[in-house]
A and B are shown apart, each in its own frame.
Chain A
Amino acid sequence: MSFERIVIFGATSAIAQATARRVAARGVRLHLVARDAAKLEAVRADLAARGATVTAAVADLDVTTHHAKLLDEAERALGGSIDAALIAQGTLPDQAACERDFTRVEAEIRTNFLGPASLASELANRFEPRGAGCIVAISSVAGDRGRASNYVYGSAKGALSIFLGGLRSRLHASGVHVVTVKPGFVDTPMTAAFKKGALWSPPERIARGIVAALEHGGTEVYLPWFWWPILFVIRHLPEAIFVRLKI
């Protein structure tokens, strides 16, 4: 499959940047959306210098009521209909603070679930009649099972994974592809505070997997692949045992 016009939401994310770089040299058109103008300009210039045609728009993606307008803008900037969209924005909540204050939980669910789900819906409704297009959204292995240490993030990502799964089934016959990306631990600004070990990957490795899934019609991809067997075990542990584990 070849993709000519690509839109990236949360384009200043480390994983999104690494993904965009992999395709930039092919001379694609990219439209970038992110909330921080200075970061966005740095990313735009980088991709343009690598050979892509790049446009950009600043937007807070939590505001779902603006999403339709953002997509209109993207199509205008790209000079035609969108071939592929990457939804990458996300935040890693302070779990302890969320436990004390539920308004934080609501905000996290908005950023990590409602925003991405709204964009995916809007894209689906435009792609479906055309019978073409690819929606790639970054969920997480954290969404596969609720854990004490980060179940707010996990539940938002879990909801997103289920939403994307349903969307994939809905669009299956139409020829529109939906890819759920489930990275494990990735060394990015989001995880700057964590001690890194053998299970950690650089964003470039995740980017390679995302581009491969885009090109080969992946559906639900664990990145890197070794997270699949790990999560297989975690998903199948009996709850009675799982609740005792400090993970």
Chain B
Amino acid sequence: MRSWGNYPKVEHAAVIPLHWRHLGLPRIEGTMLPSGLARSYGDSCLNEGGTLLATAGLDRLIAFDRASGVLRCEAGMSLAQILQVAVPAGWFLPVVPGTSQVTVGGAIANDIHGKNHHAAGSFGEHVRRLELVRSDGTRRECSPDSETALFRATIGGLGLTGLVTWAELQLRAIASPAFEVETMRMENLEHFFALSEASAGFEYHVAWVDALARGGDAGRGVFIRANHSTVAEASQAPSDSHLAVPFDLPAATLNRHSVALFNAMYRARAPRHWREERVPYSRYLFPLDGVAHWNRMYGEPGFVQHQCVVPRADAPSRVRSILEAVAAAGDASFLSVLKVFGDREPAGLLSFARPGVTLALDLPMRGAQTLELLERLDTIVRDAGGAIYPAKDARMSPGTFRASFPRWGELEALRDPAFSSSFWRRVTP
């Protein structure tokens, strides 16, 4: 079992597939951790030496009210599977990440956010109820008004409070499965903040950043904003993915030259004034899902993500420092994404998404040199009073974790004693 970043590589004592939600937890020696589709990058979905409970077989719908958009399903159901059922009925998930290949359980455990955080908040805000199975044999139905503490701890709870067997979600109505997308070239960081401000009328917006640009060009890239289309048309089923990276490519495939070339080409295609187009939701929201196993482009050593959030006030200077540090190190981040989060109360005890500006970087794993760079980035984030995203992390220090999530002790108190993860043991030694 590997996480999406293919780093770190650890062995598990067992991987037990679960198929029926009414059956209890398996009796095992040592600790267990639920596992979804392993789209987390680092070690938060791994449990070295322990057991993983593979939940992808818990993929049944329980109820779907097509009039109110309330959908209850088992926790191993993927967001792609939900959209297949919901979209033809005129409903959409209120929050989706950059891939549809994550489970409901995974979306809850990391309290994931999407390009619409400023408008819709995080995934956890739309969870009406969920069931938690604990190793003491109890089943707890948790919601905003019953078992509240356990509910808040489970949202963003990193799989540590027990096994989520099902959840009930409030979907949002759509008139069309398409998106109205506007794209424009972005010159620098100032431009990014100006465009974000000017795009309040758009439910979704995010920027792709050329992390190789320095000085006055820092922050140049492409700004993309969108709304659900209101033009009703026949719903299109997302096509199955046909492209795939069949095996790990040589680690040198993504180097600063190939990334520079890609960045230049990508930016050159973006216009100087808003280009408007109507596109299928899968192409706008999940462009990478078209190429299965794209993570293999990074080869055997794998890669690491670094996603941080810094408070809005001095975000421009902090983001600039981070981009400068990366560019100075000569490392090439292929997928660099910048977004302003909304001013919303986090839904969970340890939610990552919070008011501020978030920057996500992808870096090929080159050992000590990469780890040192990331440590420097962490220092910038900590000085700013920001946080690092556990879903993307494989190496932050316990100190950085505690600074990012000062309420971690409350989660530790509610953690199921039989549940643990490589990540949790690393950041709370």
Q: Are B60 and A42 in contact (CB under 8 A)?
A: yes
Contact residue among B20, B57, B60 (Cβ-Cβ distance under 8 Å from A45)? B60
Q: How many residues of B contact A (CB 8 A)?
A: 13
Determine if A42 and B22 form an interchain contact, defined as CB atoms under 8 angstroms apart: yes
State A38–B62 Cα separation when bound (angstroms): 13
By the criterion CB–CB under 8 Å, are A45 and B63 in contact? yes
Other-chain contact of A43, B57, B60, B63 (Cβ < 8 Å): B60
Q: Is B61 an interface residue (CB 8 A)?
A: yes
Asked if A49 contacts B21 (CB within 8 A), the reply is no
A residues less than 8 Å from B21 (CB atoms): 42
In the complex, whether B402 has a CB less than 8 A from a CB of chain A is no
* Known A189-B17, A192-B17: A49·B22 in contact at CB below 8 Å: no
A49-B17 in contact (CB<8A): no
Contact code string A137-170 (vs B, CB < 8 Å = 1, else 0): 0000000000000000000000000000000000
**Which B residues are in CB contact (< 8 Å) with A39?**
20, 22
Query: Contacts A50-B85, A192-B17: A38 and B63 contacting too (C-beta < 8 A)?
Result: no
Q: Tell whether A45 pairs with B61 under 8 Å between CB atoms, given A38-B22, A50-B85.
A: yes
A224: shortest Cβ distance to chain B, in Å?
15
CB nearest to A189 among chain B residues:
B19
Which B-chain residue is minimally distant from A45 (CB atoms)?
A: B62
Q: How far is the CA of A43 from the CA of B20 in the complex (A)?
A: 10
A50 lies within 8 A of B19 (CB): no
Q: Which residues of B contact A46 (CB under 8 A)?
A: 60-62
Residues of A within 8 A of B20 (CB): 38-39, 42
Give CA–CA (A26, B20) in the complex, Å: 26
Cβ-closest chain B residue relative to A41: B22
Is A109 an interface position by the 8 A CB rule? no
- Cβ contacts B13-57/A at 8 Å (1 or 0 each): 000010111100000000000000000000000000000000001
Q: Does B202 make an interface contact (CB < 8 A)?
A: no
B193 at the interface (CB under 8 A from A): no
Number of chain A interface residues as a range: 10 to 19
Chain A CB within 8 A of B286 CB: no
Does B64 make an interface contact (CB < 8 A)? yes
The CA-CA distance from A189 to B21 in the complex, in Å, is: 14
Chain A, 21-56, CB within 8 A of any chain B CB: 25, 38-39, 42-43, 45-46, 49-50
Chain A residues with CB under 8 Å of B57's CB are 14, 189
A25 surroundings in chain B (CB, below 8 A): 85, 88
Q: How distant is B58 from chain A, measured CB to nearest CB, in Å?
A: 9
Distance of A43 Cα from B61 Cα, bound (Å): 9
Distance in angstroms between the alpha carbons of A46 and B62 in the assembled complex = 5
Instruction: Point out the residues of chain B lying under 8 angstroms from A38, CB to CB.
Output: 20, 22
- A189-B17, A192-B17 are known contacts. Are A50 and B22 too (CB-CB below 8 A)? no
Q: Which of A25, A43, A49, A189 has the most CB of B within 10 A?
A: A49
Query: A45–B19 Cα gap in the complex (Å)?
Result: 15
A189: which B residues are within 8 A, CB to CB? Answer: 17, 19, 57
Q: Mark A49-72, 1 if CB is under 8 A from B, else 0.
A: 110000000000000000000000
For residue B40, give the distance in angstroms from its CB to the closest CB of chain A: 22
Give the residues from 59 to 105 in chain B that come closer than 8 angstroms, CB to CB, to chain A: 60-64, 85, 88
Chain A, range 2-24, C-beta contacts under 8 Å to B = 14
Q: Which residues of B contact A192 (CB under 8 A)?
A: 17
**19 interchain pairs, CB-CB under 8 A:** A38-B20, A38-B22, A39-B20, A39-B22, A42-B21, A42-B22, A42-B60, A43-B60, A45-B60, A45-B61, A45-B62, A45-B63, A46-B61, A46-B62, A49-B61, A49-B64, A49-B85, A50-B85, A189-B17
Given A25-B88, A45-B60, output 4 extra A-B contacts at Cβ < 8 Å: A42-B60, A42-B62, A43-B60, A45-B61
Give 7 closest A-B pairs by Cβ, nearest first.
Answer: A49-B61, A46-B60, A49-B64, A38-B22, A46-B61, A189-B19, A45-B62
